[in-house]
Amino acid sequence: MNLKRVEIFLEFLIFGIIMGIVEDVIAITFSTGEPITWKIIGIVTLVAIPFAIIGELIVDRIDILKFLRKHKKIN
């Protein structure tokens, strides 16, 4: 992997972790009504990190533009 690809991967990974934390905190707030504490933030972060990593590894392997171009020609 070249440096630019690693940089892009890390940018999307960090963004994915942040978005995962935000959406989980919103879901917890609406579904339970519990106040958000540092303990809850820690648990949410531990849950969000693996999903962000898996998501980035899958997205990084798929060339979405190539996929869309291929299906656009067929239709």
Residue 27: per-residue pLDDT:
94
pLDDT in tens, 19-70: 999 999 999 999 998 899 999 999 999 999 998 888 887 776 666 667 667 7
Spell 50-71 as b/e; 16+ CB within 10 A means b. eebeebbeeeeeeeeeeeeeee
Residue 54: per-residue pLDDT:
85
Residue 62: per-residue pLDDT:
63
Domain count of the fold of the chain? 1
Residue 75: per-residue pLDDT:
47
Provide the residue range defining the domain that includes 32: 3-74
Query: Could you give the dihedral angle defined by the CA atoms of residues 66, 62, 44 and 4, in that order, rounded to the nearest 10 degrees?
Result: -90
Which three-class secondary structure state does DSSP give residue 50?
Answer: helix
Q: Residue 15 above 80 pLDDT?
A: yes
